[in-house]
Amino acid sequence: MSITLLVPDLNTLSANTAMQRRYPALETLFTRSQVQPAAGVTDELAKLFGLPAGFGGAPFMRLADTGERDSGFYFRADPVHLAPDRDQLVMLPLSVLQVQAEEAQALAETFNRTYASDGYRLDTPHPERWYLRVPAPLECVTHEPVMVAGGSVFECMPQGEDGQRLRQLMNEVQMLFYEQPVNLAREAAGRPSINSLWLWGGGCLPEIPITGPDRVLTDIPLVVGLARSAGSDYSNWTGTWDMSLKSGDQLIAVDCISESALTQLEAQLAVPLLHALRQGRVDALIIYPGNQCCYRITQASLRQFWRRRRSLPDILRLT
């Protein structure tokens, strides 16, 4: 049995946090591994699920959030606040907005009344994950908002053949949302308004069924949607590794955005995986920590005792 462990935030967490603790199991797994270059997280998921590189993730995330299979072309349409700063616009982190479900629904109703006749539909199945159905596929290059938040948005606006069309729509939405009751109430309460939509990840579900790992454990919406689309045996990640699958391939994909989550990852996943590798119950473990490297660990590589453990920031920075 081989296991792929995808922790896309681990590199960022280790780089931005002054870690006071050590994580012996994770450190052992990384330092006893064979390291190879890897593509970005989305492209690695494409390989695992047999999709083309650069596939649009929005329809898969919508499938995860709604359970509905729709053949339409969807973008993620994240609610954002764009603030003027000198000669540029800066995007506030989504966590600052704390969007409520009723706010999302009210703004979606306003949008849909305005644009339904043009073939657009805005869905808000989750307060922070909105989806825009467009009347026809669009060819453009977009950027995930987590890569833009805190910085200028101008160089990250949609580009490509249909980029201008998306940019125009985003500008129109700013005017549409400007004096909506939802935003007037937010501003009166001293909260930043939801003054635009950030469109990214456009695509549609494949017509031909995709394939994937035999078992998927995850709390990441994109991976949930991929697993559902592939018909993989899927379970929510509860913080504990499920050892019931004795053969085949497993994908474990988890968010790790805090030291408390990292502590849980160490105790509930890294420690049992290390034991399973040593006992031969797992043939190989491949870790993608989000630093464009992959780390392959086997029972044989664990015997390389001369490779001494280092801290996670050192490991992920130097490889």
258-294 per-position pLDDT tens digit: 888 899 999 999 999 999 999 988 999 999 998 889 9
Among residues 199, 175, 180, the alpha carbon closest in space to that of 110 is found at 180
- The answer to whether residue 155 scores a pLDDT higher than 60 is yes
- Give 277 or 86, the one with higher predicted confidence: 277
- The answer to whether residue 56 scores a pLDDT higher than 70 is yes
C-beta separation of 33 from 273 below 8 A: no
- The answer to whether residue 245 scores a pLDDT higher than 60 is no
Q: Which long-range contacts (CB under 8 A, 24 or more apart) does 41-44 make?
A: 41/6, 41/8, 41/288, 41/290, 42/222, 44/6, 44/288, 44/294
What pLDDT sits at residue 242? 66
176-216 per-position pLDDT tens digit: 999 899 999 999 999 999 999 999 999 999 988 899 999 99
User: Taking the CB of residue 5, how many other CB atoms lie within 10 A of it?
Assistant: 25
What pLDDT sits at residue 86? 79
- The answer to whether residue 246 scores a pLDDT higher than 80 is no
- The answer to whether residue 16 scores a pLDDT higher than 80 is no
**Residue type for 15, please?**
A
Listed by start position, the domains of the chain span 2-51+208-318, 58-63+70-203
Confidence of residue 319 (pLDDT cuts 50, 70, 90): low
Report the DSSP pairing between strands 34-37 and 121-126.
unpaired
How far are the Cα atoms of 57, 73, 218, 262 from residue 52, in angstroms, in the given order?
11, 16, 22, 31
